[in-house]
Amino acid sequence: SLSHDDISALIDDIHHYIANRCHSHLSAFIFDGEKTHVHEAFGLMKMIYHVNMMAEDPVPFRNFYSECVTQFLAGPEHNLKNDHRRIVYSFLVDYPFAIDLPVKKTFLRLYQGVEHTNWFKSIQVHRESIVNDALAESYSSHRSFLNPHFYVTFKGEAGIGPGVFREFFTLFSTELWKDKAFVLNEHTGNMWFNSDKDIPLERFYNIGFLIGVGFYHQCPMNLHFPQFLYHLLLGKSIVLRDLASVDPQLYNTMQQHVLDPSLTEEDIEEIAPAFDHMELPSTIKQRKRSGPDHHDISSSKRTKLNCELEVPRRRLNLKNRFEYVEMYLRDAVIDRVSDQLEQFIIGFQKVCGTEYMPLLSSHEFELLLCGIQTVDIADLNRHTMYSGGYSESDPIIQNFWEVLSAFDENDKRLFLKFVTGSFRLPAGGAATIHPPLTVDKLPSRPARPVPNRPSSVPTPPSSGSTQPVALNHLPYVSSCSNELILPPYPDKETLRHKLVQAIAESEEFTQM
């Protein structure tokens, strides 16, 4: 079999081959369906991609992106014409590995087919009970969350707009692990579904629905699910490595005591009695359920959990140990929470459908759903705009970026939430922040006061002010426009102190 380096080199060779023939053959291949040499090259790449994704140590999925194909499809002439959308979608389904995530994100937005209306709808939630309030709202009106004019307000606050909307999904997802619907794995920090039968299945449906709404509106969420869940949401085939991501401690125990290549038949016979209690059917299949606490599944294709597995009925032995370990993990990970998991997936797909499923790898899906966990300050710097008389060459702006670069990872995330309402950058990085992050000396519009604002929270200058903010003022933001109002502090230390104080007081306010 090929090594990791061999596969990487082969992928590079195919990319070079495609690039050399890109201009003369690519359009005909994509839009006319001609069977050219480019077609054969993509076919080979597809074969390598699928084998690679099943490997224990796969080559990163980004290695398969084709720069020339991505640039070709990024042009507006391809993603705006209705007659091109069907053809491009078909190409994406056949070769999902060839196009980078920002371009896929553009097309996904075009293919989302939820019907909209023009009426306005808002919901109001308390910060301290955001999960329960949001779930209660979703019980009463699912359609509200899919409205293009849907917005969120926090009880006792006047803030409204995209920044508050993003903050809602940030806080909802951040608090979700505490909900009774989930249990936390202390070893991984990930959450998984609670098998407690006293928890109504409707709760799992509505959680899936709300996460789907966040995905639909492209709001990065602070979720902590194992990679395995994204495989299930995409309908991908499950391999042993995927199950291991839910409970790596259990998986490592299995590797050591059951799957170790040095084990003999006698060793396996000693541990076989531990598996005798596993009375699973020979094939684990999806079941249809309906009732007062369930959402009926009209099509088995809609929520296929890929749990179908032929399980040998004979006792564990050296030859069938891999099947038994997979069976054991499936039982521990999937079967015990199959009802809860199924309702969660149905809720998610109620919003997002299934059109996105063939286009994404599980890693890409996680990036779209959760954003980029690491805040790249250099990336932010490259894509930040300046206003009110500031420019990137000003000493205060240089001090600003030096201060941010010295922040630890947690402080960088807090800064990003302070300005944008989200702990994470969207998939595609700072270039895809909309509107772009802007550092301003003067507010571009009068700031609206927030009623019941504690005195510790940074208060912007009074509306109508046309002078630069006083140097004793803290920085403040308009998260709806991703705008940071930064007073012209005289030195780096003053800037750092004021910025840290503003971020800290903003966090105190959001946690009240």
Catalytic positions: 480
Q: Which residue has the tokens 């090594």?
A: 3
Percent composition of the chain: helix, strand, coil (DSSP 3-state, to 5): 50, 5, 40
CA-wise closest residue to 334 among 254, 255, 228: 228
For residue 89, the Cα-to-chain-centroid distance in whole angstroms is 21
Report which secondary-structure segment, H or E, holds 192. Answer: strand 191-193
Q: CB-based contacts of 126: which residues, under 8 Å, 6+ apart?
A: 133, 154, 155
CA distance 381 to 453: 31
For residue 55, the Cα-to-chain-centroid distance in whole angstroms is 23
Instruction: Please classify residue 254 by burial: count the beta carbons closer than 10 Å to its beta carbon, then call 0-12 exposed, 13-18 middle and 19+ buried.
Output: buried
CA distance 204 to 269: 41
CA distance 367 to 246: 18
Per-residue tokens: 411: 């402080």
Q: Which residue has the tokens 């999937």?
A: 334
Using a CB cutoff of 8 Å and minimum separation of 24, what contacts does 289-295 make? 289/339, 289/342, 293/200, 293/201, 293/202, 294/201, 294/202, 294/339, 294/343, 295/205, 295/343, 295/346, 295/347, 295/350
CA-wise closest residue to 511 among 430, 454, 427, 438: 454
The counts of H helices and E strands in the chain are 21, 8
CA distance 79 to 85: 6
Q: Which residue has the tokens 């839910």?
A: 246
CA distance 287 to 342: 10
DSSP structure string for 84-142 = HHHHHHHHHHH-GGGS-HHHHHHHHHHH------S--EEEEE-GGGHHHHHHHHHHH-T
